[in-house]
Amino acid sequence: MGYGICLETWGDYALFSRPEMKVERVSYDVITPSAARGIIDSIYWKPAIVWRIDKVHVCNPVEFTNIRRNEVSSKISARSVDSVMNGAAKPLYINTNEDRQQRASMILKNVRYIIEAHFELTDKAGETDTIEKHYNIALRRMRKGQCYHQPCFGCREFPANFRLLEGDVPESGLIGEKDLGYMLYDMDFTDPENIKPMFFRAVMRNGIIDLSACEVVR
C-alpha cells in the first residue's frame, strides 16, 4: 500500500447502470469499483500493471434526476466486420437516423468521489517494469491532469474531472451506515470466451465504501 494513490473526481452527472434493469437505465447510488478503475485506467494504463480499488469516499449526498436520451438500438456484429475484412462488399456502419430510439434514464447529479487505489504488476511486466517506475509516471500524469482519453462517469456524455489528492483525505460529512445492496464489482476476463460479472455487497459507513476486504460473488 506504500504505492497507492488518492484521486478526487467530480462531475455534474453520472450513470452507473444497474444490469437488472432491462429497458430503462437506472444508476446505482454510487460509483462502481469497475467505473472507478476505468477512470484511473484512462489516466494511466499499461499491460504491465493492474489497478485495484481500495476505498471509495462519497463526498456529496446521493441525488437522482431523470432525463431522456437518444440512443442507437443496434450494434455492428463481429461477423459483419469479419466478412468485410475478408472482402465482402457490404456497408459497415450504423444509420443513427434509422436505429435511434429514445430511452429514459435515472441518473446521479452533482457527484464527487475520492478514490483510493493501488496497482500490482501483472505477468506481462518485463525486466524494466518496476513498481517505482510506474508509480512515478502515474503521479506525474495525475498532477498534470493528463489522460489518454477523457474519463467519464459511466457514459461518455458525463465527463469526469479529476485531480491528485495529496495529504489527508477530507471527511465527506455523510454520517451513518447505509446498505446499498449488491453492486457490480468488475468483470472477470480470465476466460475471454466466458466473461463473467462479479458482485459484492456494498455498505457505506460514514460516506466510505471499503473494498479492501469485501467478499466478491461470481
Q: What CATH number does residue 166 fall under? A: 3.30.70.2660
C-alpha cell at 205: 459507513
Alpha helices, H only, 98-168 = 131-144
90 lies in a domain?
no
Distances (CA, A) of 55 to 67, 115, 135, 148: 30, 6, 18, 24
pTM over 0.95: no
Q: Which domain holds residue 203?
A: 5-67+105-217
97 lies in a domain?
no
Alpha helices, H only, the chain = 33-43, 78-85, 131-144
86 lies in a domain?
no
193 lies in a domain?
yes
Q: What is the dihedral of CA 111, 112, 118, 123, to 10 degrees?
A: 30
73 lies in a domain?
no
100 lies in a domain?
no
Q: How many domains does the chain have?
A: 1
82 lies in a domain?
no
Question: Among 19, 99, 30, 84, which residue's Cα sits nearest to residue 60?
Answer: 30
Per residue of the chain (218 residues), give pLDDT as tens: 457 999 999 999 999 999 988 778 999 999 999 999 999 999 999 999 999 999 999 999 999 999 998 888 788 888 888 888 888 888 888 887 788 888 899 999 999 999 999 999 999 988 889 999 999 999 999 999 999 999 999 999 999 999 999 988 888 889 999 999 999 999 988 888 888 999 999 999 999 999 988 889 88
Question: Among 174, 178, 177, 188, which residue's Cα sits nearest to residue 217?
Answer: 188
On whether the CB atoms of residues 197 and 216 are closer than 8 A, the answer is no
On whether the CB atoms of residues 60 and 211 are closer than 8 A, the answer is no
80 lies in a domain?
no
